[in-house]
Amino acid sequence: MKIATFSLYRLLQEPALWRSATTGALIGLFLIAAFLFSADEGSPGWGPYWMARPLIVVPIAGAACGVCAYLLAPLRQAEGWKGAMGFLLTFLVYLIGLWLGTVAGLDGTYWN
C-alpha cells in the first residue's frame, strides 16, 4: 500500500494553481479599481496615496480565494449533487473572501 504524501513544493509548481491565483487577483483588482475610481476622497490621514492599500490588499485576497478555488476543484468535478455543491461552495468561498479583503483594504483608508 502506497501512502500519498502532500508536497507543497509540487503544489507550487502547478501552472493551474498560478492561473487560478492570477485570475482571482485580476478579478479583485478590476472590482476594487472600478469602485475606487468612482469614489470620493479617502481618509485625510492617508493623503493622496489612500488608494494604494485597497489596490494591494484586495488582489491578494482575490489570489488567496483563487488558490482555494483550485484546491476545491476535485469537489467541483464530482458527479451529481456533489459537483453542484462544489460549485456553490467555491462561489461562496470566493465571494466571502473577496468581501473580507475589500473590508480589510478599505478600513481606515476610505471608511473612517
Return the pLDDT at 112: 62
Tell me the three cell numbers of residue 17. Answer: 494553481
- Cα separation, 5 vs 33, in Å, equals 40
Residue with cell 483563487: 66
pTM, two decimal places: 0.83
The string of pLDDT tens digits covering residues 2-51 is 556 667 667 677 888 899 999 999 999 999 999 988 888 777 777 888 88
- Cα separation, 103 vs 97, in Å, equals 10
The string of pLDDT tens digits covering residues 48-93 is 888 889 999 999 999 999 999 999 988 888 889 989 999 999 999 9
Q: Where are the domains of the chain?
A: 16-37+49-106
- Cα separation, 77 vs 98, in Å, equals 23
Please enumerate in sequence order all residues whose Cβ is within 8 A of that of 29, keeping only pairs 6 or more positions apart, or say none: 55, 58, 59, 62
Please enumerate in sequence order all residues whose Cβ is within 8 A of that of 11, keeping only pairs 6 or more positions apart, or say none: 17
Please enumerate in sequence order all residues whose Cβ is within 8 A of that of 44, keeping only pairs 6 or more positions apart, or say none: none
